[in-house]
Chains A and B, each alone.
Chain A
Amino acid sequence: ETGVTQTPRHLVMGMTNKKSLKCEQHLGHNAMYWYKQSAKKPLELMFVYNFKEQTENNSVPSRFSPECPNSSHLFLHLHTLQPEDSALYLCASSQQLNTGELFFGEGSRLTVL
């Protein structure tokens, strides 16, 4: 248990569906992150939130829409995705920014048909 919980663990969706990924951290951390992990590629940073404010959008397409209602919860809303968006989406948290010690959830495995 890392203290970071992601749901659902697996998700299959069509290209016209709307779905959301949820992340919750029980560590009292102030920063939260979304990363994308595709086969044969390094982890890609998507979004960073610090004290609920978005500090980084790493040129992510608008079909991915993050939401951070409080420091403990982070969502990734998905709409009109493409098959190439199929990947493992990892949420992480850290006590503050500019630290190398992130705590990752187990990820949500997304398949877009």
Chain B
Amino acid sequence: GESVGLHLPTLSVQEGDNSIINCAYSNSASDYFIWYKQESGKGPQFIIDIRSNMDKRQGQRVTVLLNKTVKHLSLQIAATQPGDSAVYFCAEINDYKLSFGAGTTVTVRA
């Protein structure tokens, strides 16, 4: 079964609002997590990663939060734009292999 999983399969967001996409993982030994974005007709694209020695990491308009206590991570997108409409995947590295969870489809409303 999946080692990482998303909480909600879909998310609808008003343009300009912040988006929060959640993901849970089951293996407490997991120490490296990654978020990917997949736009329609394209392959997944790396967004940001975080290792277990951190609980927060920021990129351009994105923040990843890691809560090791409850084995949960989230991706926050600030000021969501139409170009953020995509499927978002959380993933983890286990034994050098990248394993993906099911995605969350984010739709941005104008």
- Chain A residues in contact with chain B, CB under 8 A? 2, 4, 33, 40-43, 45, 48, 56, 90, 92, 97-107
Contacts and interface: CB of A to CB of B under 8 A. Distances in A.
A56 B97 contact: yes
Max chain B Cβ within 10 angstroms of own Cβ: one of A40, A41, A42, A107: A42
A42 B97 contact: no
A105 B43 CA distance: 6
Contacts of B41: 106
B46 A103 contact: yes
B43 A101 contact: no
Interface of B: 2, 32-34, 41-46, 49, 89, 91, 93, 96-103
A101 B42 CA distance: 16
B8 to A, nearest CB: 15
Contacts of A90: 43-44
A40 B103 CA distance: 9
A100 B34 contact: yes
A102 B100 contact: no
Contacts of A48: 97
Nearest to A31: B96
